[in-house]
């Protein structure tokens, strides 16, 4: 339970930082991660049944988040969203692994789902900090091919 509280606090702080200091891509990712985290908590199966089979509600949330992250990675004038989307592909792939192999231990499924979340938070913070530093020098583009903005 303590791990969940610590993770939620880190996610809230990182997302808040992204909204406060980031450009549009950082804000989109920060809000999306926070919303996905909240919805995941609401969608979890009862504890006795959790991680025993594919959690379809969490899978739907992960696929929706992955769609947003891939769109940001493709269009943002940033490099870090590519890594963030790749980490989430690995986490989302855990559902596929669980669906293909019912013999996998529930704890292994849980670890595969959660392990990539912490590096994703770190990437969001680092990407936001880099954007804030670059913005001090001058205008920074948020999206590839777009004119420089002062966001």
* Residue 68 tokens, joined: 């947003």
* Residue 130 tokens, joined: 């880099």
pLDDT at 89: 96
pTM, entire model: 0.89
Please report which residue ranges of the chain form alpha helices under DSSP H.
2-21, 24-43, 56-75, 80-100, 106-114, 117-137
pLDDT at 71: 96
Residue 48 is given by DSSP the state: G
- Residue pair 75/81 in contact (Cβ under 8 Å)? The answer is no
CA 77/CA 64 separation, integer angstroms: 22
Count the Cβ atoms, other than its own, within 10 Å of residue 61.
20
pLDDT at 23: 96
Q: Which of 122, 108, 51, 10 is nearest to 130 (CA)?
A: 122
pLDDT in tens, the chain (151 residues): 688 899 999 999 999 999 999 999 999 999 999 999 999 989 876 665 778 888 889 999 999 999 999 999 999 999 999 999 999 999 999 999 888 988 888 888 889 888 999 999 999 999 999 999 999 999 888 988 755 555 5
């Amino acid at each position: 339970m303590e791990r969940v509280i610590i993770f939620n606090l880190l996610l809230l702080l990182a997302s808040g930082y992204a909204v406060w200091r980031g450009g549009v891509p950082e804000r989109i990712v920060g809000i999306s991660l926070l919303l996905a985290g909240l919805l995941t908590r609401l969608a979890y199966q009862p504890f006795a049944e959790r991680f025993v089979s594919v959690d379809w509600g969490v899978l739907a949330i992960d696929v929706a988040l992955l769609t947003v992250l891939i769109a940001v990675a493709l269009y943002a004038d940033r490099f870090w969203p590519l890594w963030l989307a790749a980490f989430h592909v690995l986490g989302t792939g855990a559902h596929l692994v669980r669906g293909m192999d019912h013999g996998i231990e529930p704890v292994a499924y849980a670890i595969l789902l959660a392990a990539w979340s912490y590096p994703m938070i770190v990437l969001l913070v680092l990407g936001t900090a880099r954007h804030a530093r670059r913005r001090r020098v001058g205008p920074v583009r948020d999206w590839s091919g777009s004119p420089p903005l002062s966001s």
